[in-house]
Amino acid sequence: MSGAEAEAAQAAAPEVKAATIGSTAMDAIREGKTNKQTLEIVQAAFPQAKTSMASINWYRNKLRKDGETVPTSREATTAFEAAQAKAKEAEGAEAGVKAGAEAGAEAGAEAGTEAGAEGAGEEAESLFD
């Protein structure tokens, strides 16, 4: 490829911006993450950064000021806690259904054993009649 062709290809290629602390935080906030979750995401992506909870609050407020519809910190936390409670409730219901099925199977097995024993007893009686 000649120098002119390389320059043309480079000019045509879209410019990819590297993720920044701000873009990472704002993306997490847009996804509905709580401030705590957002801070954890930023710290995982940028372990050397000294990002604080105040920084995350600043990004959330900046998004709201710029007209984006993002939940407040309190709304995000409430939604997260509600989702956790719902998941825990569903998990408990699933465990209850499983326990009920196991108890039903156990009761069925016992009933089958008793019926089998009664049937064997009747057969033995009929042999002696």
In the prediction, which pLDDT does 93 show?
A: 77
For residues 48 and 121, the model is more confident at 48
The answer to whether residues 92 and 63 belong to one domain is: no
In whole angstroms, what is the distance from residue 121 CA to residue 111 CA?
A: 15
Residue 78 lies in a domain: no
Residues 60 and 73 sit within 8 Å (Cβ to Cβ): yes
Q: Examine the domain organization and report whether 66 and 93 are in the same domain.
A: no
Q: How confident is the model at residue 43 (pLDDT cuts 50, 70, 90)?
A: very high
Say which DSSP state 13 is in: S
Domain range enclosing 97: 87-129
- For residue 65, pLDDT over 70 is answered with yes
Do 115 and 62 share a domain, yes or no?
Answer: no
Mind listing the pLDDT tens digit for each residue in 81-112?
Answer: 999 999 988 888 777 767 666 666 666 556 55
Torsion sign (Cα): 116, 120, 121, 126: positive
- 3-state DSSP call for residue 49? coil
Q: Is the pTM of this model over 0.85?
A: no
